[in-house]
Structure formats: C-alpha cells, structure tokens
C-alpha cells in the first residue's frame, strides 16, 4: 500500500514538473499583418492582447508580427513559422487554411474564432458608388471594378447566375489596395472605380457603416452603397501548433473566450463592440461553408484569375 502511495505521489510530482517546464518554455504567437497595417494600432493591439494572456497564465509568451505584401498569404506565414519551430500560436484565414492542410498536415489545431456581427462567418458584400443607380448585382455589368481580391466578387457573381470572369463582366478590373481600407475608400471617392466587394466587417472598422440609400450615403459622406451580401468563409481561426502543452492551450483559450466580459481586457471592449462579436469556441462544422466555397473555386478555376490580379499589385500606383 505504501509503495502504491509513493508511486502515485511520484507520478503527480512528475506531472507538476512537466507542467511547470511547459509554462517556463517561451511560446510565440505569430501575427501576420498586412504591410499597410504593420505599424498601426493593429500591431499594438496584438502585442497588448498577448501580454495580458501572459500575465493571466503566468506563461512565457511573446508575440511576433510579420508584415506580408499584397498577393502574399498570411496563412502561409503562420504555418511556415510553426513548421520551422519559430511559432506556437497564431491565426489563419479559413480559405487559405483549407487550401494548405494537405501541404501542412497535422500542424495547426484550431481552437477559437472571433465572431463579427454575431456570426462565425464573414458577410461578403458587393458595394457600388453612392452616386450609382445600380440596384442589383446584374446592374453592375460594364462598370469599373476595384479591389485587392477577386474571389469574393467572383463568388457573388456565381450566386447571381453570372458565370463570366470579372474581366469580361466589368469594363475594367483595377488593383486597388485595401490595407488600410482608406486606400480603397479614397480611390472610390476620386472616381477611379465604381464597384467593389469586401467583407462587411472591414468597412465597419475601417470605412464607416454603409448607407442604405443614395441620399443617406451622400449626406453622411459615405461614398458607397451596399447592394448584395452573402455568407462567406469562416472568420479568422485562432489555434495552436500540434503538441502545444494542453494545460496552457486550455487555459489560454478559456481566458480569451471570456475576454469580452473580463475587465483585464477593457481596452479591447471597444473592438468587440464595434465588431459586434467576441471569441467563441471553434467547432469542426464551422468550416463547412468555407469548404463549400473551396470546392466551387477549385472546380471552376477561380484561383488563376485571383493570382493574375494579385500580380498587378507590383505595378499598382
């Protein structure tokens, strides 16, 4: 009996030592940030968020920000850094992650999602100039399109029975940066293009709320009007490198799931309010819509159009 008790005590002591060792080893949160936002408040917010988690867990955590250029993939940066052993936590774009799971198998373990507008998925919306008379997606035919990513628009056109590539449906397809969103909005104001598509939350935090009618849009100074929205890919997915200490991942996830109610995260509550969201647990079925879109884009070859458009970023003014 005494031997069994001593064995149990030894096992508990060993578990405590392993747990302590896991907490003492530095863990890195990798944060890919679009080039135009690398020196913005976004970067500072990530640093502050990780610092609060570090304090609350007692673990040795730090954040590393990596700026990515137009056409580069944020998810590729996260997964490459994890594979190389330089990152342990991070976030991925849902569609990019779906595309890369075969290239980086058994590497990333999703844990939670930041909801926006109370949803786990983005609303991809098509907007026109506030001066435009267009009422439907079909009405935008022959306009000048602007933006940094063609995929969302191509999906919207497909949902509306339009099978043409952007280059034939629109009069012209221009590369216009979206990091920060003010680049896109200022270009629209200048009359450089007439129609664009972006996730709605990007305008909520970077371009103002869209007016519902022309007069409302113009009188409020907002130069665009929403004409169509659809449920798109999952919002950014946060998670851990496979093999991350389970005690620490569980503690970190629990802390962040309650961040919107936690006074220690008070400086972030304005963000949760602006986005109308907060961190929620990830479930496998959350990727269903994303996988549906991936299957569609792969079967119809939309990535080729997207890559050709991204190449314009190098020569865009």
| Average model confidence (pLDDT) across the chain | 88
- Quote the percentage of the chain above a pLDDT of 90: 73
287-301 pLDDT tens trace: 999 999 999 999 999
**What is the per-residue DSSP string for 277-317?**
--EEE--GGGGHHHHHHHHHHHHHTHHHHHHHHHGGGGT--
DSSP 194-259: SEEEEEHHHHHHHT-PPBSSHHHHHHTT--EEEEEEEEEEE--EEEEETT--HHHHHHHHHHHHTG
Res 80: pLDDT: 97
Domain 2-118+235-282 in CATH 3.40.190.10? The answer is yes
Q: Give me the residue label for tokens 């159009």.
A: 305
What pLDDT does 204 receive?
77
Residues 125 and 260: beta-carbon distance below 8 Å:
no
Q: Which CATH architecture fits 122-232+299-314? A: 3-Layer(aba) Sandwich (3.40)
Q: Is-contact 149 306, C-beta < 8 A?
A: yes
Distance of CA 73 to the CA centre of its chain: 11
pLDDT of residue 10: 41
Q: Determine the average pLDDT of the residues in 132-138.
A: 97
Residue count (the chain): 317
pTM value is 0.86
Query: 């008790």: which residue's tokens?
Result: 5
d(CA 97, CA 75): 6
Strands 27-34 and 61-68, by their bridges, are parallel
Matching CATH topology for 2-118+235-282 and 122-232+299-314? yes
Q: Which pLDDT does position 40 carry in this prediction? A: 61
**Are 33 and 65 spatial neighbours (Cβ–Cβ below 8 Å)?**
yes
pLDDT band with cut points at 50, 70 and 90 for residue 89: very high
User: Would you place residue 206 in the very low, low, confident or very high pLDDT band (cuts 50, 70, 90)?
Assistant: low
Provide the pLDDT confidence category of residue 69 given band limits of 50, 70 and 90.
Answer: confident
| Domain ranges (residues) in the chain | 2-118+235-282, 122-232+299-314
What token pair was written down for 242? 């496979």
Range of weakest confidence among 64-68, 88-92, 153-157: 64-68
Q: With 60 as the cut, is the pLDDT of residue 219 above it?
A: no
Average pLDDT value for residue range 102-117: 96
Is a pLDDT exceeding 60 seen at residue 7?
no
């Amino acid at each position: 009996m005494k031997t069994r008790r001593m064995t149990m005590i030894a096992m508990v002591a060993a578990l405590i030592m392993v747990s302590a060792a896991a907490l003492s080893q530095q863990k890195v949160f990798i944060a890919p940030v679009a080039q135009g936002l690398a020196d913005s408040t976004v970067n500072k917010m990530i640093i502050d968020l990780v610092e609060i988690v570090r304090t609350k867990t007692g673990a040795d955590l730090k954040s590393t920000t990596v700026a990515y250029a137009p056409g580069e993939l944020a998810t590729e940066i996260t997964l490459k850094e994890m594979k190389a052993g330089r990152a342990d936590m991070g976030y991925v774009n849902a569609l990019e992650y779906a595309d890369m799971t075969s290239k980086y198998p058994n590497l990333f373990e999703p844990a939670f999602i930041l909801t926006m507008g109370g949803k786990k998925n983005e609303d991809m919306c098509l907007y026109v100039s506030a001066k435009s008379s267009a009422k439907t997606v079909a009405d935008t035919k022959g306009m000048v399109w602007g933006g940094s990513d063609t995929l969302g628009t191509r999906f919207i056109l497909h949902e509306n029975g339009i099978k043409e590539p952007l280059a034939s449906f629109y009069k012209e397809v221009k590369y216009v940066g979206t990091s920060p969103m003010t680049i896109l909005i200022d270009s629209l104001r200048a009359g450089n293009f007439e129609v664009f598509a972006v996730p709605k939350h990007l305008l909520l935090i970077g371009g103002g709320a869209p007016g519902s009618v022309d007069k409302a849009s113009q009188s409020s100074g907002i130069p665009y009007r929403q004409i169509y929205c659809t449920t798109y890919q999952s919002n950014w997915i946060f998670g851990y490198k496979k093999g991350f200490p389970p005690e620490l991942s569980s503690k970190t996830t629990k802390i962040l799931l309650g961040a919107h109610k936690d006074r220690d995260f008070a400086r972030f509550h304005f963000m949760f309010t602006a986005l109308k969201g907060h961190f929620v647990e990830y479930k496998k079925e959350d990727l269903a819509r994303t996988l549906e879109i991936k299957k569609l884009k792969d079967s119809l070859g939309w990535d080729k159009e997207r890559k050709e458009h991204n190449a314009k970023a190098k020569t865009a003014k």
